[in-house]
């Protein structure tokens, strides 16, 4: 079974071809980061226009790379939410057009499910499992008993982890998106600054806005008093606070749900601090940990094709009424 994946939910346009849900035949990602950088964040209007400009070229590239024709494709999997509505619609319209013109089945995929299924590109998912989803817009702990069965145990009550990274990075005058820059700085600094760890021993929900404000206030007050705080130390302290909370809640979920398998998903899964702490803890506890390589943590269409493959097998197909849904939940 060969799935063509299409992803345009935010500022990456991506088309991929994946065989049997795990074998990547091609995965072309065109990032708009360079365009949005000067605005310090994604400008939705600009994002959708750019998707329109490149999507056809990417489709050809993806087919060429895989040495396939549209006639070889079993189904088209497309992200239909959550995300920026204008961006989502570009991918959905393209998918519907190809589906209609070539008579290829269509499968709508939830973007967060896609992030989770990036792990299936590395190692076949084994159930039951806990998935820690940490992306630009989401922070969720998910329990899965089987394919596409998502039980959300907890989520953020305010900012997502990636969002907090990007906002703290802006305070430290680092480029957008700031996650990778903080990650790099954190390695050079010491976690000496005291910062809050919200809801630490309190259920599975997260809250990162207090932590973000604490960083902003600490930097601001130091400046007013003419004191110097090394950016490296602030980055290290912030990262330690985030990792403490993420790892402690994730391990609690793994233990309470008595699962052996832990997978991590979303852009923040690229974080070296998070990866190394999870690796260390999981080795100690005998938990089977999977984290995708960096390029599969951030947005890409291979993960959408992988998630779509399992929907396709279950017969959960979409029709031409498929529409983009900006606030699509992971589990209804």
Q: Is 179 known as a binding-site position?
A: yes
Residue 10 engages ligand ATP in binding (rule: CB under 6 A)? yes
Return the structure tokens found at 149.
């069965």
Residue 43 annotated as part of some ligand binding site:
no
91 binds ligand ATP (CB under 6 A): no
Per DSSP bridges, beta strands 139-144 and 129-134 are antiparallel
Q: Are 130 and 250 in contact (CB under 8 A)?
A: yes
Q: Which of residues 108-137 bind ligand ATP (CB under 6 A)?
A: 111, 115, 135-137
Binding mask 176-205 vs ligand ATP (x if CB under 6 A, - otherwise)?
A: -xxxx--x----------------------
Applying CB under 6 A, does 171 fall inside the site for ligand ATP? no
> 273-332: which residues touch Mg ion (CB under 5 A)?
299
Pick the closer one to ligand ATP by CB: 63 or 268. 268
Q: Of 267 and 273, which has the nearer Cβ to Fe ion?
A: 267
Separation in Å, CA 126 to CA 19, 148, 258: 19, 12, 14
What is the rounded CA–CA span in Å between residue 98 and residue 23? 22
Q: Using the rule CB under 5 A, is 29 a contact of Mg ion?
A: no
Torsion of CA 295, 283, 125, 108, to 10 degrees: -40
**Residue 123 CB coordination number (10 Å):** 13
Q: Which is nearer to ligand ATP, 38 or 225 (CB)?
A: 38
Q: Which residues form the interface with Fe ion (CB under 5 A)?
A: 135, 299
Is 201 part of any known ligand binding site?
A: no
**According to the annotation, is 148 in a ligand binding site?**
no
Partner touching 159 among Fe ion, Mg ion, ligand ATP, none, CB below 5 to 8 Å by kind: none
DSSP-derived 3-state class of residue 199:
coil
Among 133, 45, 86, 100, CA closest to 325:
86
CA 270 to chain centre: 9
Give the C-alpha separation, 47 to 41, whole Å. 11
Annotated binding-site residue? 324: no
134 has binding-site annotation: yes
Q: Which residues bind Mg ion (CB under 5 A)?
A: 10-12, 299
| Positions at the binding site | 111, 115, 133-137, 166, 179, 183, 271, 299
């Amino acid at each position: 079974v060969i799935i063509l994946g299409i992803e345009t939910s935010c500022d990456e346009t991506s088309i991929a071809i994946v065989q049997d849900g795990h074998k990547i035949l091609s995965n072309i990602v065109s990032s708009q980061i360079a365009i949005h950088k000067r605005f310090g964040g994604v400008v939705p209007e600009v994002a959708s226009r750019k998707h329109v400009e490149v999507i056809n070229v990417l489709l050809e590239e993806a087919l060429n790379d895989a040495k396939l024709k549209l006639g070889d494709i079993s189904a088209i999997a497309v992200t239909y939410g959550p995300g920026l509505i204008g961006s989502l619609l570009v991918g959905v319209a393209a998918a519907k057009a190809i589906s209609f013109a070539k008579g290829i089945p269509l499968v709508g995929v939830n973007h967060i499910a896609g992030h989770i299924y990036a792990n299936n590109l590395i190692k076949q998912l084994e159930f039951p499992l806990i998935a820690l989803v940490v992306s630009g817009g989401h922070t969720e702990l998910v329990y899965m008993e089987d394919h596409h069965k998502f039980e959300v145990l907890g989520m953020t009550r305010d900012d997502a982890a990636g969002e907090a990274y990007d906002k703290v990075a802006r305070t430290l005058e680092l480029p957008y998106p700031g996650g990778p820059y903080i990650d790099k700085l954190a390695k050079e600094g010491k976690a000496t600054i005291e910062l809050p760890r919200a809801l630490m021993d309190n259920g599975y929900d997260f809250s990162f806005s207090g932590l973000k404000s604490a960083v902003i206030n600490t930097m601001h007050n130091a400046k007013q008093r003419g004191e110097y705080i090394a950016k490296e130390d602030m980055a290290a302290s912030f990262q330690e606070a985030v990792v403490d909370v993420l790892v402690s809640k994730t391990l609690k979920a793994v233990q309470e749900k008595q699962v052996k398998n832990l997978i991590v998903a979303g852009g923040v899964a690229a974080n070296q601090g998070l990866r190394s702490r999870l690796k260390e803890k999981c080795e100690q506890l005998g938990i089977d940990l999977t984290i995708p390589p960096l390029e599969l943590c951030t947005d890409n269409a291979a993960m959408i094709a992988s998630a779509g493959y399992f929907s396709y097998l279950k017969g959960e197909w979409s029709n031409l009424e498929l529409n983009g849904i900006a606030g699509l939940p992971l589990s209804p």
